[in-house]
Amino acid sequence: MENPSNFSLLESLPRDLRVEILSRVASSSREDIRNCLTLSKRISTSVVDDQVFKRLNLRPQAMIPLVTYEGYYQLMEKCLKSGNPVAHYIEGIKLYFVQESTTMGLFHLQKSAEGLYDNATYLYGILMLFTGNRVEGKTFLRSLGWETSKRRGDRCWRQNKVFITVSYPDPDPALTDPTFYYPDPDSTPPDIRIGFGSNLGSNPDLG
């Protein structure tokens, strides 16, 4: 039995407060929270709480989603179960663009967007536009606030462009054209071919 007199300040806190602190560490650094596993049994049991996995920083892994979903399978499963929005983004890309499961892919991208992960908000909004769901697409894209400032939209464009160009050397030029990411919400989306397989193919008139 553990002796309370030997507990550190973190160990002596109530579990819910300890989990909250560790969740904040997890949101900043996956490496730091992994190191916490070695501190003590009391802390390590708090590290594996669902709340910690929900807020775990997976942004570096999101930049290489096709590698992540193969190399971090167990971690991804735990984060998905806990509702981590970045994990849903990675899973959505895997399902939609690789396994051609469009319905489930869009489900995970939507969950990520609803979890306020900007890259997913952008990608889901664009996919909604190009599959004819214009009202929903415009709603998500406008939530990035690009009608007043293009800063968030530019960041999403750059980060998604990295994934697109690294994973697929010859995508449709529109996907790497910054003007593509600020569509006129009242215009008809252009015909586009995405080099991820056959999901969107060559779109018919979506007017």
SS3 assignment, position 72: coil
The total of other beta-carbon atoms located within 10 Å of residue 46's CB is 24
Who contacts 193 (Cβ-Cβ below 8 Å, separation ≥6)?
172, 200, 201, 202
Distances (CA, A) of 161 to 113, 120, 137, 173: 18, 13, 19, 11
What's the pLDDT score for residue 124? Answer: 93
CA distance 188 to 185: 8
- For residue 127, what pLDDT is reported? 87
CA 41 centroid distance within chain: 31
pTM of the entire predicted model: 0.76
Q: How far is CA 162 from the centre of its chain?
A: 14
Neighbouring CB atoms inside 10 A of 81's CB total 12
136 burial level (CB within 10 Å; 0-12, 13-18, 19+): middle
Return per-residue pLDDT of the chain as tens, 207 residues.
455 544 588 888 888 999 999 999 999 988 888 888 888 888 888 888 999 999 999 988 888 877 887 788 899 999 999 999 999 999 998 898 888 899 999 999 999 999 999 999 999 998 888 788 888 988 998 899 877 888 888 888 888 777 666 555 555 555 555 555 555 545 444 443 343 333 333 332 222
